[in-house]
Amino acid sequence: MADRIYYPNAELANNAYCNSMQQYKDMHEKSIKNPELFWSEIAKQFYWESQTSNDKFFSYNFDLNQGDVFIKWMEGASTNLSFNLLDKNVKCGNGDKIAFYWEGNDPEDYSRLTYRKLLEETCRFANVLKSKGVQKGDRVAIYMPMILELPIAMLACTRIGAVHSVVFAGYSSDALAERMMDSKAKVLITTDGVWRGSKLLILKAICDDAMKKVKEKSHEVESCIVVSHLRRVTSPQGSTLDGEKGKHGINGSSNGNNEPNIPWDEDRDCWWHEEMEDAEASCYPAWMAAEDPLFILYTSGSTGKPKGVLHTTAGYLIYAATTFKYVFDYKPNDIYWCTADIGWITGHTYVVYGPLANGATSVLFEGTPFYPENDRFWKVIDKFKVTQFYTAPTAIRSLMKFGDDLVKKYDLSSLKVLGSVGEPINSEAWLWFYNLIGHGKCSIVDTFWQTETGGHVITPLPGATPMKPGSASFPFFGVRPELLDEDGKLIEGEGEGYLVFRQPWPGMMRSLYNNHERFQTTYFDKFRGFYCTGDGARRDSDGYLWITGRIDDMLNVSGHLMSTAEVESVLAEHPSVAEAAVVSKPHPVKGQCLYCFITPNEGKTFDKTLQDELKKKVREKIGPFAQPDIIQHAPGLPKTRSGKIMRRILRKIAIGDKNVGDTSTLADESIVDLLFQLRPQN
């Protein structure tokens, strides 16, 4: 069944913005041949304080042989993101429209926010930031759970031209510190804590730890603004910390200082709600140049040091808005829900910027799919009558396990478009999503993209593209993918190779923060004239693209990208470890998991204690999502005579496949047998 083609439902197709392959092809061709014309028509939907000119609309160099790489869209134009997302929607009569329905970790906790209120809160908080000395260009770190203050904080940054750097609140204090040092963050915004399922996390304590490390090694974070969140939500035992239950607005009124165990520095820390009390609800927007920085978002790099991906103003706005509109086919009364955390790029572009730029109504979900029961996703879709539902293959696979009855309890008939992102979706998960969740009438958009690409780059369009389960299909407008072989030769027609892009689209990153050199070597050095994604892809006889996964030393655990080097360097820091090598192993739910080979130091034993310590260390240094599944004893590692670890062989050992291929370049071939013998039995 998996090689069957699934056509968009006729009703969906008839009403879609793009409703046939012919229309898609025409629009795509125009976007490639005349990007200036294509995107300048789209740009007219937005407000520009000053205009660009035709000859300056688009310029770039992708070819290092011709000089430095640069990408510029709409030079000369100026605008403000929050103005386009908020003021413009209020002015055109959407002030009372809901921007976000907030659904808490506990089903008892929920609230909503209109566009008008979102604008007011954004302005208020922009004034708070100003009062803390934040100026245009300053970096503001944000470490928050999925609550309404998170988009407010981001939009407030854009209001005054500050550059936000959101760090996923599942990262450890070390990871947060490293990112704040790299971006030289002046202010940190967080919450006292958050319930994840039935687990309480004191985020402020993690922040304190991180700020201490930043102070020791780099600079001082001047202010830490803390949302008092815990007292207003229901704890898993059924009572709030201050006994008040249920619904709440976004402005707290009780005194957050009464909270238990929240570390505090009077000179540096302040409560969000106290600062907001006297702040004015209007704030004139800072007009930003088209290529002024909008935000930094860190992503893993193959050297282990995270890369500060830099996105800028005008191009990101038009690309986020356009991909959201066409890929989800969002219509004015739809209720859209993207389950991704805002701490990742999916949350930036498709929880915050894309939906708001289209005046959409979205669900903002704080919880997990498994709390209080494993039916939470379906319950929330039913509750809000969600029309577009965007999630990750790993979530789908983990929910499939619980059986179909949990799904059938709910009315999911509101759904029109289903989205998948983060890793290739296997056909079994695709079919379950299609048949059970979508009742065979929803289109599935398998959206391939990256932190670096800013928005979808290869994706079906729900009213146009005939779907093949597991294929991300065709390029979005403005995107020109190619497949190259190892020598950089173009692969035409059917074939498999490196996935690269030939020319920029408006939403792609412009640089790595403060490290243009690394930007160039990472993405533009291997194949001159192309942006290299690091992924492999196959083109079938119908021209469909199938992403085959990373071909560098990166791995994708539950849609979280990390590098083998990043984990290896944490493991190797342990005093008992001489050497560590990490590879990925396929995992039925997570997609991939970490398999680590450890060579202990002379005289040190490899035992359960060491394994536990190593797992703990990875949790502390990177975050819980990076915890290795398997740690194996490796008295030696398979190396070439020049000392290079042959990960290809380790990957085979990890899956127990004795077909390791050519081992003649190994310095010591006997090590392979030994490692097979030492595989843990499970």
Which of 399, 547, 594, 634 touches ligand WT7 (CB under 6 A)? Answer: 547
Residue 394 binds ligand WT7 (CB under 6 A)? no
For the CB of residue 298, give the shortest distance to ligand WT7 in the complex, in Å. 10
Position of minimal CB gap to ligand WT7 = 451
- Taking alpha carbons only, the member of 67, 107, 7 closest to residue 380 is 107
- Taking alpha carbons only, the member of 50, 45, 87 closest to residue 284 is 87
Contact 482, 490 (CB under 8 A): yes
How open is the CA angle 134-136-142, to the nearest 5 degrees?
55
The token pair that represents 637 in the structure block: 């590692």
- CA distances (Å), origin 281, targets 119, 271, 284, 418: 8, 18, 10, 37
Give the span between the Cα atoms of 116 and 98, in whole angstroms: 9
| Phi and psi angles of residue 294, each rounded to the nearest 5 degrees, phi first | -105, -50
Which CB atom, from 300 or from 358, has the smaller least distance to ligand WT7? 300
Cis link prior to 372 (omega < 30° from 0)?
Answer: yes
**Pattern 265-304, ligand WT7, x by CB under 6 A:** ----------------------------------x-----
**Pattern 310-349, ligand WT7, x by CB under 6 A:** ----------------------------------xxx---
Site stretch for ligand WT7 (CB under 6 A), options 103-111, 211-219, 353-361, 533-541: 533-541
Q: Considering CB under 6 A, how many residues would be counted as binding ligand WT7?
A: 23
- Taking residue 411's Cβ as centre, other Cβ atoms within 10 Å add up to 12
**DSSP β-bridge partners for residue 626:** none
For the CB of residue 450, give the shortest distance to ligand WT7 in the complex, in Å. 4
For the CB of residue 125, give the shortest distance to ligand WT7 in the complex, in Å. 27
For the CB of residue 426, give the shortest distance to ligand WT7 in the complex, in Å. 11
**DSSP β-bridge partners for residue 199:** 196
Is residue 207 helix, strand or coil? Answer: helix
Which CB atom, from 279 or from 418, has the smaller least distance to ligand WT7? 418
Which CB atom, from 323 or from 533, has the smaller least distance to ligand WT7? 533
Give the span between the Cα atoms of 276 and 280, in whole angstroms: 8
Tell which positions 21-40 bind ligand WT7, by CB under 6 A. none
How open is the CA angle 385-386-389, to the nearest 5 degrees?
155
Contact 597, 634 (CB under 8 A): yes
Residue 207 binds ligand WT7 (CB under 6 A)? no
Which CB atom, from 191 or from 346, has the smaller least distance to ligand WT7? 346
Q: Which residues contact 677 (CB under 8 A, 6 or more apart)?
A: none
For the CB of residue 625, give the shortest distance to ligand WT7 in the complex, in Å. 12
Pairing state of beta strands 223-227 and 269-271? parallel
Distance of CA 427 to the CA centre of its chain: 23
Which of 223, 313, 323, 447 touches ligand WT7 (CB under 6 A)? Answer: 447
Is residue 314 helix, strand or coil? Answer: helix
For the CB of residue 362, give the shortest distance to ligand WT7 in the complex, in Å. 17
Reported as type and span, the H/E element at residue 483 is strand 481-484
The token pair that represents 9 in the structure block: 């439902």
For the CB of residue 128, give the shortest distance to ligand WT7 in the complex, in Å. 31
Contact 302, 563 (CB under 8 A): yes
Residue type, 364: L
Give the span between the Cα atoms of 192 and 144, in whole angstroms: 9
Which of 424, 454, 463, 591 touches ligand WT7 (CB under 6 A)? Answer: 424
Q: Which residues contact 488 (CB under 8 A, 6 or more apart)?
A: 526, 527, 528
Tell which positions 362-391 bind ligand WT7, by CB under 6 A. none
Site stretch for ligand WT7 (CB under 6 A), options 264-272, 415-423, 576-584, 627-635: 415-423
Residue type, 139: R
For the CB of residue 265, give the shortest distance to ligand WT7 in the complex, in Å. 33
For the CB of residue 300, give the shortest distance to ligand WT7 in the complex, in Å. 7
For the CB of residue 479, give the shortest distance to ligand WT7 in the complex, in Å. 14
Distance of CA 345 to the CA centre of its chain: 3
Tell which positions 556-595 bind ligand WT7, by CB under 6 A. 556, 559, 561
Reported as type and span, the H/E element at residue 381 is helix 376-384
Which of 103, 275, 423, 482 touches ligand WT7 (CB under 6 A)? Answer: 423
**Pattern 469-508, ligand WT7, x by CB under 6 A:** ---x------------------------------------
For the CB of residue 190, give the shortest distance to ligand WT7 in the complex, in Å. 22
Which CB atom, from 450 or from 569, has the smaller least distance to ligand WT7? 450
For the CB of residue 455, give the shortest distance to ligand WT7 in the complex, in Å. 9
Residue 533 binds ligand WT7 (CB under 6 A)? yes
Which of 143, 384, 448, 524 touches ligand WT7 (CB under 6 A)? Answer: 448
Which CB atom, from 262 or from 364, has the smaller least distance to ligand WT7? 364
Residue 449 binds ligand WT7 (CB under 6 A)? yes
Residue 422 binds ligand WT7 (CB under 6 A)? yes
Binding region for ligand WT7 (CB under 6 A): 299, 344-346, 421-424, 446-451, 472, 533-535, 547, 550, 556, 559, 561
